[in-house]
Amino acid sequence: MRLIRVTKRTEPLGWGSVLVFCAALGLSLSLACAALAVQGVAPLRALALLWEGGFGSVWSLEDSLRKAIPIYLCALGVSFTFRMQIWNIGAEGQFALGAIGAAWAVLTFPHLSAVALLPLMMLSAGAAGAFWALIPALTKVRLGVNEIISTLMLNYIGILLLNYLVYGPWRDPGGRGFPMTMEYPAAAQIGMLGGTRLHWGLVLCVVLSVLAWLFLNKTRLGYEIRASGESLRTARYAFMPYGFLVFLVMGICGMLAGWAGFVETSAVAHRLQPSILVGYGYTAIVVAWVARLKIGPMALAAFLLAGLRVGVEVLQLELRVPAAFGHILEGLVLLTVLAGQFFHYYRLRLEWPGQRAEGR
């Protein structure tokens, strides 16, 4: 009889992690194919369309990159909080508040020039997002309220707040009754990069990644954030009190997610409307975990999952696959990658019972 023995892994997995990831992705795709077959869609045709739609042409690559920008910004944000084991799942609400903050600046000062308006929008979006994230930080640190629940409830409330504004006081009178604000003036729109369909939000992502890396790896505060996530004992010796660090990471996350909302409304939607809320904040959590909170892999994962979203939109158009298919795929990817991370910490050895006795 052969036995499988589980032992703790002492050396890092290295390239094996790529293999594990690919296996997880393969398993997710095949399970998702089963879901397609149930609805009578030819799985292979769907997979080909999914690939083509998300990554198959310059046009689709541009689309995927455009979608990756808000996802990545949110993922970068939540990765700060996850590093400290703060289970902030409120990026979606913080994104909504950021979009609201940006819209407020536009609607209040519609005649400013771009040089003044864009920074103002960025400021108000970041502040609004951070404000939304600091509420659960406050209730956690001062009152011990579970942040999973509070951040999630604030998602619902933030989304409803956005709905209230665009159905009510901020509704465009010339919008034929559609729930949306007026179209932003040109000064409030982020410009495009050269002759592409990509906007300056992409550059913002690059700059923020570098800053985030420098902050986490080259500053004392960044070190403390990393250390306090790894063990509470180290946190106790930290220079900064734990509560302060919680406020800091939550504020950073809210600001980044808020900026994602700003970029999305300013560069893509050109107005505030409920359809900007398509769950980027939740996809960001998948991205952050799949990439194990590392900045480079997160950018890659954001692009990959954005591509899947674009591909699913094509499936929706061509094969009438419901949009929820994207969520199935995202959930499966996260579940399988999570199970696969087992191999980062443990190794399996096949072993004969006799062999084990000899070893002792």
Partner 1 sequence: MPIELIIPLLAAAVQSGTPILYATLGEMITEKSGVLNLGVEGMMMIGALSAFWISLATGNPWLGFLMGGVCAAMLAAMHGLVCLGFQGNQVVSGLALTIFGVGLANYLGTPLVGTQGIGFSKVSLPVLADIPVLGAILFHQDVLVYLSFALPVLIWAFFRYTRLGLHLRSVGENPVAAATAGLNVIGLRWLGVLLGGFLVGLGGAYLSLAYIHLWTNGLTAGRGWIAVALVIFAFWRPGRAVFGAYLFGGVMAFQLRLQAMGTDIPASILMMLPYALTILVLIASTMTGRGGEAPAALAVNMEPEE
Binding site for partner 1 (CB under 8 A): 6-8, 35, 38-39, 87, 89, 139, 143-146, 148-150, 152-154, 156-157, 160-161, 163-164, 167-168, 282, 285-286, 289, 322, 324-332, 334-335, 338-342, 345-346
The answer to whether residues 130 and 255 touch, using CB atoms and an 8 Å cutoff, is yes
Residue 321: closest CA among 56, 28, 47, 25: 47
Q: Which is nearer to partner 1, 191 or 322 (CB)?
A: 322
Instruction: Tell the smallest beta-carbon distance from residue 43 to partner 1 (Å).
Output: 14
Instruction: Tell the smallest beta-carbon distance from residue 205 to partner 1 (Å).
Output: 24
The answer to whether residues 147 and 140 touch, using CB atoms and an 8 Å cutoff, is yes
Structure-block tokens of residue 89:
């799942």
Q: Which is nearer to partner 1, 190 or 284 (CB)?
A: 284
Structure-block tokens of residue 348:
């399996």
Q: How far, in Å, CA of 198 to CA of 254, rounded? A: 24
Instruction: Tell the smallest beta-carbon distance from residue 283 to partner 1 (Å).
Output: 9
- 176: burial class by Cβ within 10 Å (0-12, 13-18, 19+)? exposed
Q: How far, in Å, CA of 15 to CA of 326, rounded? A: 28
Torsion angle defined by CA atoms of residues 141, 147, 153 and 156, in that order, rounded to the nearest 10 degrees: 100
Instruction: Tell the smallest beta-carbon distance from residue 112 to partner 1 (Å).
Output: 29
Q: Which is nearer to partner 1, 50 or 202 (CB)?
A: 50
Q: Which is nearer to partner 1, 112 or 152 (CB)?
A: 152
Instruction: Tell the smallest beta-carbon distance from residue 116 to partner 1 (Å).
Output: 32
Q: Which is nearer to partner 1, 263 or 302 (CB)?
A: 302
Q: Which is nearer to partner 1, 135 or 235 (CB)?
A: 135
Residue 313: closest CA among 344, 337, 278, 286: 278
Instruction: Tell the smallest beta-carbon distance from residue 337 to partner 1 (Å).
Output: 9
Structure-block tokens of residue 349:
């050895």
The answer to whether residues 277 and 74 touch, using CB atoms and an 8 Å cutoff, is no
Q: How far, in Å, CA of 261 to CA of 250, rounded? A: 16
